[in-house]
């Protein structure tokens, strides 16, 4: 009975911590959904340009973001060990790395876009729109990295509510600001309001500039939340050590990069099939990304719970946290897969009214239903490995699944069959068929309980003030 109560307690605590993180992740994805809705109302060229530019941005920024996510491990394990002051030193290290990585990231973005546009079938106008979008979005790079560091610090402390509310603020700002900047008076007309002389708007550049403004709003909101944390050291080191964060972070960066790059890479390769294929792909990718936000939120909570358990020396609890996260995530993904199969055309119709795009996007969603459970399991398992500090295992699984298996298979189908744009989505299925089960096995092995188990100690609940969860050593 003690074991059953312990599993139930862990499930409840993981779900409670995950709830605001799911809302925050969903809110972040909703920003992209709104951008797609705005771009979709401005025509195929703006939709393709904004989607292509956003893919370039995330394809490059995922590496520095992954490095910063190493903070999840350091903060949660320090909290589990009872050393709150150490969390602020780790946070300072993340800020230092964010400064170092920002300018190289911008340079790589520009270079990758210049090269990518040589291989896609875009009109000159769409190419200009893509450059304009990325130029307006690029200034958000450094604030975005700082925001990610703030998020890791707060969720490690169990203070997930400010993260969720920052996304609420972001979405309240994003819709009017992005619509007005992109569409000008057209946004007012769309909303049934009279024109006020704003002109036709900035197009894709307006969407990118709106996103930059939103990121700055999020940064300001979480800066206030971080300033309220106690346990900060009396003096601040101007040159905090970055070695430990880098050691944990670069494998996370490559693991996330392998996943994100195959999705972003398929967007780039989709340009081979024309603007309509890119637009439909963007719609389907936006929908699937929205459903995956549930697993991303659960994964963040799982990483925190596992990290705190490891920091407290409670290996059995780390395993229960992993199993709880997987159970919650797979249940959510089963629901999304069912929706894609039964209502694909209706879902695609929310983003565009072009019949060709609806039909193509619905076909992509049907294929996506095949890998929802696989994708959810690998996201949560990789997060559990991150919490345990086993970041290299997740990296190897991701690289093999996506780059050794998934991408070559997708390219082979695209060039050797008449499946058309769908061939690239089948490549995603192949990659996740490997990485999902293998990542799950690695996570369970990393938290394997030895045959001689220690007595189960009941876990304290999260308090109503969202204070950090202290875990007793088993």
User: DSSP class of residue 276?
Assistant: H
Residue keyed to tokens 């709880």: 324
Identify the DSSP state of 359. Answer: H
Cα separation of 329 and 340, whole Å?
A: 17
Measure the CA–CA gap between 191 and 189, rounded to whole angstroms. 5
Q: Quote the pLDDT of residue 6.
A: 64
Residue-level pLDDT at 64: 93
- Considering the entire predicted model, what is its pTM? 0.77
Tokens of 252: 């996370």
Average pLDDT value for the chain? 82
Whether the Cβ atoms of residue 319 and residue 354 lie closer than 8 Å to each other: no
Q: How confident is the model at residue 396 (pLDDT cuts 50, 70, 90)?
A: very high
**pLDDT in the model for residue 140:** 92
Let me know: does 156 contact 165? Beta carbons within 8 Å: no
CA atoms within 13 A on the CB side of 66: 28
pLDDT, tens digit, 9 for 90 and up, residues 160-189: 889 889 988 999 998 888 888 888 877 777
pLDDT at residue 7 above 80? Answer: no
Task: Count CB neighbours of 141 within 10 A.
Answer: 22
* pLDDT for the residue numbered 451: 29
- Please answer whether residues 333 and 291 qualify as being in contact, where contact means their C-beta atoms are separated by less than 8 angstroms: yes
């Amino acid at each position: 009975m003690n074991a059953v109560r312990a599993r139930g307690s862990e499930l409840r605590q993981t779900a409670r911590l995950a709830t605001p993180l799911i809302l925050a992740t969903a809110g972040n994805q909703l920003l992209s959904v709104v951008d797609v809705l705005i771009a979709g109302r401005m025509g195929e060229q703006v939709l393709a340009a904004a989607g292509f530019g956003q893919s370039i941005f995330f394809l490059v920024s995922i590496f520095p973001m992954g490095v910063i996510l190493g903070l999840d491990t350091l903060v949660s394990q320090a909290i589990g060990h009872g050393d709150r002051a150490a969390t602020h030193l780790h946070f300072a290290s993340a800020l230092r790395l964010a400064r170092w990585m920002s300018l190289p990231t911008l340079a790589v973005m520009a270079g990758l876009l210049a090269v990518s546009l040589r291989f896609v079938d875009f009109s000159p106008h769409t190419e200009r729109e893509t450059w304009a979008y990325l130029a307006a979005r690029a200034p958000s790079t450094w604030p975005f990295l700082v925001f990610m560091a703030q998020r890791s610090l707060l969720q490690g402390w169990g203070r997930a509510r400010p993260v969720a509310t920052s996304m609420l603020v972001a979405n309240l700002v994003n819709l009017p600001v992005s619509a007005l900047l992109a569409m000008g008076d057209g946004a007012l007309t769309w909303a049934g309001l009279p024109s006020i002389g704003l002109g036709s708007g900035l197009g894709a550049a307006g969407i990118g500039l709106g996103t930059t403004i939103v990121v700055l709003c999020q940064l300001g909101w979480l800066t206030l939340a971080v300033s309220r944390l106690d346990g900060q050291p009396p003096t601040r080191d101007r040159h905090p050590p970055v070695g430990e964060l880098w050691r944990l972070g670069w494998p996370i960066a490559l693991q996330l990069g392998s996943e994100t790059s195959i999705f972003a890479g398929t967007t780039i390769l989709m340009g081979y099939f024309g603007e309509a294929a890119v637009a439909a792909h963007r719609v389907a990718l936006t929908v699937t990304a929205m459903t995956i936000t549930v697993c991303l939120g659960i994964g963040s909570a799982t990483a925190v719970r596992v990290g705190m358990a490891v920091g407290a020396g409670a290996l059995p609890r780390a395993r229960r946290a992993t199993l709880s996260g997987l159970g919650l995530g797979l249940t959510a993904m089963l629901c999304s897969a069912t929706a894609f199969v039964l209502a694909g055309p209706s879902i695609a119709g929310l983003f565009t009214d072009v019949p060709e795009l609806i039909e193509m996007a619905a076909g992509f969603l049907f294929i996506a239903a095949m890998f929802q459970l696989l994708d959810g399991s690998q996201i949560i398992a990789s997060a559990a490995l991150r919490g345990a500090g086993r970041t290299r295992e997740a990296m190897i699984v991701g690289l093999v699944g996506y780059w050794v298996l998934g991408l070559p298979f997708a390219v082979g189908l695209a060039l050797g069959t008449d499946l058309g744009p769908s061939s690239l989505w089948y490549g995603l299925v192949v990659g996740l068929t490997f990485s999902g089960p293998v990542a799950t096995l690695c996570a369970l092995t990393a938290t394997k309980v030895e045959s001689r188990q220690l007595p189960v100690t009941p876990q304290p609940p999260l308090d109503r003030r969202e204070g950090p969860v202290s875990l007793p050593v088993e």
